[in-house]
Amino acid sequence: MAVVKEFTLPDLGEGLTEAEIVRWLVQVGEVVAIDQPVVEVETAKAVVEVPCPYGGVVTARYGAEGESLAVGRPLITVAVGTAVNSDASGAAASADGDGGEGSGNVLVGYGTTAPGARRRRVRPAAGQSPAPAPAPASVAVAAAVVATAPAGPVAVISPLVRRIARENRLDLRSLTGSGPDGLILRADVERAVAAATAGTAAAPVATAPAAPAGPAADVVGERVPLRGIRGAVAEKLSRSRREIPDATCWVDADATELLAARAAMNAGGGPKVSVLALLARICTAALARYPELNATVDTERNEIVRLPAVHIGFAAQTERGLMVPVVKDAQARTTSGLSAEIGRLTEAARTGRLTPADLTGGTFTLNNYGVFGVDGSTPIINHPEAAMLGVGRIAAKPWVHQGELAVRQVVQLSFTFDHRVCDGGTAGGFLRFVADCVEQPAVLLAAV
């Protein structure tokens, strides 16, 4: 006899209390295996897939796409039992072997049976009544669907591929993947979208009626909800402006020698070192000299908290907006180690694979806005941090070098700091040290 089990939205970690349903990955009546992703959700940190710890037939889904659910609220119910799981590879046996909790793992975005995954017992929120179980007839119908249900989930791993298909209203089940074992790749989706677009290019375009006259707020403009990552960014920047009395200083620096040092480091044929990694290495040395800037302000206790470890966040522009991945324990990493971790996090940001842990815990931010071709900026501090270094583009400019006018590679550095944690002398000393290291990388040797 099938037993209906309820799976609630798990605690996604890092203080997140709710998530928005982006896309359902299963339908009611579909057979799911243990730890199969069943829904794609967007939190204030990232878009992740949530795997279900039960194997069986989906009997109900809770929440529509675009709806926000609180942690602990029901997501789906699954009919688990001998009749149902005969086609689900014995999933129920595995589930019942763990106290009736399925796999017991919910490691979002990586599958719940990954080595080293955290095991978490999912419980309903306090005071919440469990969702009513379907009538026995419903369970029987669910079990009967097994014979006609799809053999398995759509062969898609990347949330980015799912998002592209969703935005173009493309049914992934209609595609045959070109990747290993039929995996649907981004190129497969883009080809299908291009083919669909070409087929409808000649269709007549309907002309919308003219908007009636009236107040601009009522009839003009597109309204974009501030939610998910965009909403989290808006809230954090607004809070920073409200709470932090920030000030900014800046200086131009000759980065010619820094680029030469990077070229020499990369000439050995080993892993390449990025300019951003060199700047991060300089920042760790500067924060060791000026530890009051690696801090946060506890407003409730009216205290400055100086932090022992340096976790450097760096701004990364992605298709889903601005993200700030965090390099943990940057002070303990070598330059090549910093470069490797920055590269890993950047790739994860571009492909939508960042976890909430990758985006939180920063103590200092490095903002390289020079990639946009601009020279200067006055950054907004990433609350609750105390400082941010901004780096403009490195461009050939006239510069007085050794008493003569020459063309050098010049960069503008801007430093925004919380005036509560230090005065201008400390901030100026920090920025001057950074500029000296940019102009003469050998200065770093004295700082070790």
Just list the catalytic residues. Answer: 419
Sheet holding 47-51, edge to edge: 47-51, 37-42, 18-24, 68-70
Residues 6+ apart with CB under 8 A from 30: 57, 58, 145, 149, 150
Residues 6+ apart with CB under 8 A from 291: 306
d(CA 368, CA 410): 14
Tell me the backbone φ, ψ of residue 391, rounded to 5 degrees. -125, 120
Tell me the backbone φ, ψ of residue 172, rounded to 5 degrees. -65, -25
Q: What is the 3-state secondary structure (H, E, C) of 152-206?
A: CCCCCCCHHHHHHHHHCCCCHHHCCCCCHHHCCCHHHHHHHHHHHHHHHCCCCCC
Show the tokens assigned to 19.
């998530």
Tell me the backbone φ, ψ of residue 317, rounded to 5 degrees. -85, 125
* Residues 62 and 9 sit within 8 Å (Cβ to Cβ): no
**DSSP string for 50-109:** EEPS--EEEEEE-S-TT-EEETTSEEEEEEESHHHHTTTTTHHHHHHTTTTSTT-B--TT
Work out the number of other CB atoms within 10 angstroms of the CB of residue 82: 13
Query: How buried is 302 (Cβ within 10 angstroms: 0-12 exposed, 13-18 middle, 19+ buried)?
Result: exposed
Using DSSP's 3-state secondary structure scheme, residue 121 falls into coil
d(CA 105, CA 27): 22
d(CA 150, CA 400): 71
Residues 6+ apart with CB under 8 A from 113: 34, 35, 103, 105
